[in-house]
Amino acid sequence: MRCFWLLACFVVLSSARTSQDSEKMRFDNYSVYELNISNKMQLKLINRLCDASEKYNIWKYYDNQSRKMHVMVDPTEVKRFLLLLKLYGISHEVLIANVQSLIDTETEANSRYSNTFGWKRYNTLAEIETWLDGILEKYSNVTEEFVVGTSYEGRTIRGIKISYKEGNPGVIIESNIHANEWITSATATWFINELLSSENQVVRELAENHDWYIVPVLNVDGFVYSHEKNRMWRKTRQPSNFSSCIGVDPNRNYDSHWMQNDGASDDPCSQVYGGSHAYSEPEIKAMSEFILSIKDKVNVLLAFHSYGQVLLSPYGHTAEEFPENYADLMQVAKAYADAVGTLSYGSVFQYGSVASVLYQATGATNDWAYEQGILISYTIEFRDSGNFGFVLPPAFILPNCEETLTGIIALLGECQKLGYLDAK
């Protein structure tokens, strides 16, 4: 009898746990604040607060240029938070009053467009893969699938090579390394579709005179988790040996100045945790090996991120030094920003090295790729500048896609002029 009750309890408890696990996290009345930081004390306070409590989530880290931070705050913490801001004299503004209402807008788009693949809603990994299968079949004469590797949870990380002829300069696009940056895979898939189907002469030139290696979703585990459990998930999903916190910031995990100069955190609970060692994440180990395997044919690497509307060149580890071809990198970035600026949307893109315009960040794709000899290597932070942040409404997917296409055409045109697309 006793044994039965024990068993019953066990069943109830474990089912309670699984039902909780399978629930999707909600963000009702979670707000995102923009903080104006004017001294070190204020910065220390906010950083400590965010490190110590899960009730805070940094959406945008502090940078010396804007001197602003974006922080999402749990509604149960808001009173205390506002009191602290007052005590420390930190001026602020509400960017997003209720994160859940933005998530609801995304969900509504799914029912409006009846869960069919497209660019008026955000697609799941399964939908992206089914679409990719169709594309590979339809354009089998100019496309080829490649497999980057296998994720921690055992998913296949897939990519598509598009090549119309031999001897083209190569361009790598890495997208959705950060799980919650959904606009990146939406844009990467649209871009693939344009390269293959556009009849615009300029796009045809773009498609046919470059070899494209595009990975629409690199952080597959995190991406699935962000769809199914927690919209704000950024990292990978590999558990830590030292903590109950899960995941590593994959864009801190490449072997480039790994963990130096405070460019990443050694706290497994941090959003910018660098991992137990470089390449601790199978996704990053695999991507680095894939890039090495083709690097002799590759002239340009673009890592798609959101948000902030900025093109970031190396270096991330220091603002004291700059790449040898920094002037060229800035000229090419300017071409992108200027081209986007000519569109009717009026989006403004900034540019500069990571450490000089943002903050010190190490172990990122574009720095590592640069060190491997890919001399045109950028992180592109897409829309927006914080009004919607990571939860960019589906209505802005297509405008972002058009901006990106226009920007990349100009970027590669400038690279061509400067001789960066010649055979290596």
3-state secondary structure of 379: strand
Which residues fall within 8 angstroms of residue 212, CB to CB, at 6 or more apart?
160, 161, 162, 163, 170, 171, 173, 192, 195
Q: Which of 222, 247, 282, 316 binds ligand 0X9 (CB under 6 A)?
A: 316
| Dihedral sign computed on CA atoms, order 84, 90, 96, 99 | negative
Q: Is 188 in the site for ligand 0X9 (CB under 6 A)?
A: no
Task: State how far the Cα of 118 lies from the Cα of 57, in Å rounded to an integer.
Answer: 30
Pairing assessment for the beta strands 211-215 and 170-175 based on DSSP bridges: parallel
Size of the site for Zn ion (CB under 5 A): 5
Pairing assessment for the beta strands 31-36 and 170-175 based on DSSP bridges: unpaired
Q: Which of 121, 252, 305, 383 binds Zn ion (CB under 5 A)?
A: 305
Locate 351 and state its tokens.
């540019």
Q: Which of 192, 218, 354, 391 binds ligand 0X9 (CB under 6 A)?
A: 354
Q: Is 255 in the site for Zn ion (CB under 5 A)?
A: yes
| Residue from 104, 135, 118, 80 nearest 24 by CA | 104
Of residues 280-309, which lie at the interface with ligand 0X9 (CB under 6 A)?
305
Q: Which does 273 bind (CB under 5 to 8 A by kind): ligand 0X9, Zn ion, none?
A: none
| Cis geometry, peptide bond prior to residue 113 (ω within 30 degrees of 0) | no
Of 381, 402, 403, 414, which residue is the catalytic one? 381
Secondary structure letter of residue 22 according to DSSP: T
Instruction: Write phi, then psi, for 265 (nearest 5 degrees).
Output: -105, 150
Q: Which does 255 bind (CB under 5 to 8 A by kind): Zn ion, ligand 0X9, none?
A: Zn ion
**x/- string (CB under 5 A) for Zn ion, residues 119-158?**
----------------------------------------
Q: Which stretch binds Zn ion (CB under 5 A): 39-47, 143-151, 250-258, 366-374?
A: 250-258
Residue 381 among the catalytic residues? yes
Q: Is 379 in the site for ligand 0X9 (CB under 6 A)?
A: yes
Interacting residue ranges for ligand 0X9, rule: CB under 6 A = 178, 181, 251, 305, 312, 316, 354, 361, 364, 366-367, 379, 381
List the catalytic residues: 381
Interacting residue ranges for Zn ion, rule: CB under 5 A = 178, 255, 258, 278, 305
